[in-house]
Each structure stands twice: as structure tokens, then as C-alpha cells.
Homo-oligomer: A and B are copies of this chain.
């Protein structure tokens, strides 16, 4: 059993920062069988990546992913770049015999997803997709409670992921609003999280029907400061992804679901929420109050039934005992630390990881089915990834 795992990270922006923090923190708070060694970080801008390496304590920097995966002293490749690059890097890493940890979404489409899944399977390496919200303690607790039959047979599931950062029409373009780099808009970016959560908590989706829309079709070109007016056609750029998507689902287990993702809901900052109604109880969670899980049980005495607001910060709750005493709330980045902890333990003990690339591919399959339903104006079946 290894006592150390050498990590090479690709990407040094938002996700690079979140992942670096996880590797830095994990062995301080958790007893890791194998500690991560922050060997190298990789990015195309050599100066910027060198600065990032220095700040975060990465031992070295690389300016191409090919050179990173070619290194003998790397055990695990962590992919924190935009989705359009995941397949290429992931396949390269797998071929080089590295374990692969990949940000969501796994890939841009099913074709890429199948290829990257085949690559990690062929190579026999560990593979995990970072759907970080699974490991928020309140969400992990919800999963435990569902598995323990505390809400019974699931009938309805509602998933909404609402943000508002694009409400201002003067907010300028970036890669997330171009189809070629992002694939889709809110639908893929936020919807992927909801789909993974739905599969985690409710199970596989069978068929879907939906709609999407781009309300703000043109924005100031990238680099333009937000708030500056730009004359249409001059200094503007077309938005080529959706602002929002809404869809319905039938789950394989019989439940019905609604899904919604948008970047145009004023006041919703990171409103990643679910409500699941079972035959004997309900669970509700929202990231904006991420430490709390709401629970209603029909099994309480009748006069005292009500939605319970559980503060998931007690020692008896998943992951929490490693941090602070009860009542000391956790934040966004803690989910990343939990994911990295589980990943490192799975590698050390040679166990399968969850969610793995098959899970990641299955999420892409759902996204594609929704796209098909939108084009067809009717229900579409979800491809089952084996």
C-alpha cells in the first residue's frame, strides 16, 4: 500500500484553486492512508502557472499536459480545465497509466464520453468525476437516510439549480457562453450537477422532455468591463449557449422528476436545491444553506410532525467529525476535500471510486437526451451506459 500519491494537476483557475486547496488540506484534517504529494501543476501560460505553483506549493510547473502525463513521478492526473479538453487529456493520462480525477462534466458529448471511459477501463486505472456536491455532509446524510429507508419509496424529485450572474445584459462574454468551448450553457454546467445528484439519490433516469432558451442573445465582447454599454454589432458577440433549461423526467424506479437550470434568476446565487418526496417522508436541501438538511417524516407522532432543519455538523454526520466541534459550519471547499480524501483512500486500498467515469458518461447521456427532446418536441429515451 502506497504511503504517498504523487499528483499532477491540469488547470489553475477556479477549479485549480479548489483542487489545490483540497490536496493541501486533506491530510491535516483527515488521517490519510496515503498522503498526496503536490508534484506538478500544468497550464498553457508558463508565467502564470509558475506563479500559481509557487503560491500553492506545487513542486514544479508544466506548460503542456502531454509533458505532465509523460512524467514518471506522477501517479494521479487531476483535470480541472474546461470540459472541451477533458477527453483528450483524460485519454492521454489513462494511456500513460495514471489514475484520473476529472472535473464535471466528463466530456462534451457521448462520443467523447465513451472514448474516455474505454481508455480508463483499458488502462485499469482508477477514475473519478468530481461531482463535489455529493460530499457536502448534508447531502451525504440524505443519501444515508434514503438508503436506510427513512423516506420510503421515492415518488417525486425536484432539482433546481438557479444562479443570477448573467442577469446584467452588460456582463461580457466568456468561454462559458460559447458553444464551442462550453458545449451548452446553464443546461450542461448546472444541469450536470443536478443529474448526478438525482442519480445519486433517486436512481437512473429513463426518459426526458424539455425546453431551453437564450434570453440575452448578444453581449459585450470578452475583455469589455461589465457595465459599459456597447453598441450592438460593434464590440459585441453572439451568445451561442442557453441561459436556461427546464425538463421533466421519468426515473427507472418509477418516480417522476422536474429539473431546471438557469443563470437568470435574480437573487439566486448558487441555488442548487433538491426536494425528494417518498412514501413516508421528504428531504430538502439547498446549497445556499449547505449545512442544513430538511426532513419530514410521517412516522413522528401526528401532533408533532413538521419539517425538521437538521444542522449536519455533528460528529455522527458524514465527514464532519474531522473538522470542528458540532455547530461550526463548513463551506464550499470542504466538499472538494472530502472528494479528494475518498479518492486517495480508494487508490490506496485499490477500491473502485464513486462517481466514476461511467457515472460521468451517464450524466452526459441524460444531457444529450434532453437536447434530443428539445429538438424533437417530444419525450426522448436516455441511453444506458454500460
| Contacts from A to B (Cβ < 8 Å) | 14, 18, 20-21, 24-25, 27-28, 55-56, 141, 144-145, 150-151, 155-156, 158, 160, 162-165, 167-168, 209-211, 213, 215, 243-244, 246-248, 250, 254, 256-258, 260, 262, 264-271, 275, 277-282, 287-290, 292-298, 300, 302-311, 313-314, 316-317, 324-334, 376-379
- B244–A156 CB distance below 8 A: yes
Instruction: Provide the residues of chain B in CB contact with A271, threshold 8 Å.
Output: 327
- A246–B248 CB distance below 8 A: yes
Nearest-neighbour CB distance to chain B for A260, whole angstroms, equals 6
| Residue of A28, A288, A296, A303 contacting most chain B CB atoms (<10 Å) | A303
List 17 other contacts, CB 8 Å, given A267-B305, A328-B332.
Answer: A151-B266, A156-B260, A163-B327, A167-B279, A167-B298, A168-B298, A209-B209, A209-B211, A210-B248, A264-B277, A266-B280, A267-B281, A268-B277, A295-B304, A302-B314, A302-B316, A329-B332
- B282–A265 CB distance below 8 A: yes
Instruction: Provide the residues of chain B in CB contact with A275, threshold 8 Å.
Output: 265
Closest residue on chain B to residue A163 by CB atoms: B327
**How far, in angstroms, from A296 to B300 measured CA to CA in the complex?**
13
**How far, in angstroms, from A265 to B284 measured CA to CA in the complex?**
12
- A14–B277 CB distance below 8 A: no
Q: How many copies does the complex hold?
A: 4
Nearest-neighbour CB distance to chain B for A375, whole angstroms, equals 12
- B247–A266 CB distance below 8 A: no
- A306–B258 CB distance below 8 A: no
- A296–B270 CB distance below 8 A: no
Nearest-neighbour CB distance to chain B for A345, whole angstroms, equals 17
Nearest-neighbour CB distance to chain B for A311, whole angstroms, equals 5
- B141–A303 CB distance below 8 A: yes
- B269–A327 CB distance below 8 A: yes
Instruction: Provide the residues of chain B in CB contact with A288, threshold 8 Å.
Output: 311, 327, 329
Instruction: Provide the residues of chain B in CB contact with A151, threshold 8 Å.
Output: 266
Given contacts A156-B265, A256-B213, A378-B379, contact A306 B311 (CB under 8 A): yes
Nearest-neighbour CB distance to chain B for A19, whole angstroms, equals 12
| Residue of A297, A305, A376 contacting most chain B CB atoms (<10 Å) | A305
**How far, in angstroms, from A159 to B25 measured CA to CA in the complex?**
34
Given contacts A304-B310, A331-B334, contact A156 B264 (CB under 8 A): yes
- A317–B329 CB distance below 8 A: no
**How far, in angstroms, from A294 to B305 measured CA to CA in the complex?**
10
24 A-B residue contacts at CB 8 Å? A141-B303, A145-B303, A155-B215, A156-B260, A156-B264, A209-B377, A210-B248, A211-B256, A266-B278, A266-B282, A267-B306, A269-B326, A270-B328, A271-B327, A289-B289, A290-B329, A295-B306, A297-B304, A302-B314, A306-B309, A306-B310, A324-B333, A329-B331, A331-B331
Given contacts A156-B262, A277-B264, contact A330 B328 (CB under 8 A): no
Nearest-neighbour CB distance to chain B for A57, whole angstroms, equals 8
Pick from B160, B317, B330: contact of A331, CB under 8 Å: B330
Instruction: Provide the residues of chain B in CB contact with A300, threshold 8 Å.
Output: 308
**How far, in angstroms, from A257 to B221 measured CA to CA in the complex?**
30
Nearest-neighbour CB distance to chain B for A115, whole angstroms, equals 31
- A260–B258 CB distance below 8 A: yes
Pick from B256, B302, B332, B377: contact of A324, CB under 8 Å: B332
**How far, in angstroms, from A140 to B326 measured CA to CA in the complex?**
24
**How far, in angstroms, from A141 to B275 measured CA to CA in the complex?**
28
**How far, in angstroms, from A311 to B292 measured CA to CA in the complex?**
16
**How far, in angstroms, from A250 to B212 measured CA to CA in the complex?**
10
- A317–B303 CB distance below 8 A: yes
**How far, in angstroms, from A25 to B262 measured CA to CA in the complex?**
33
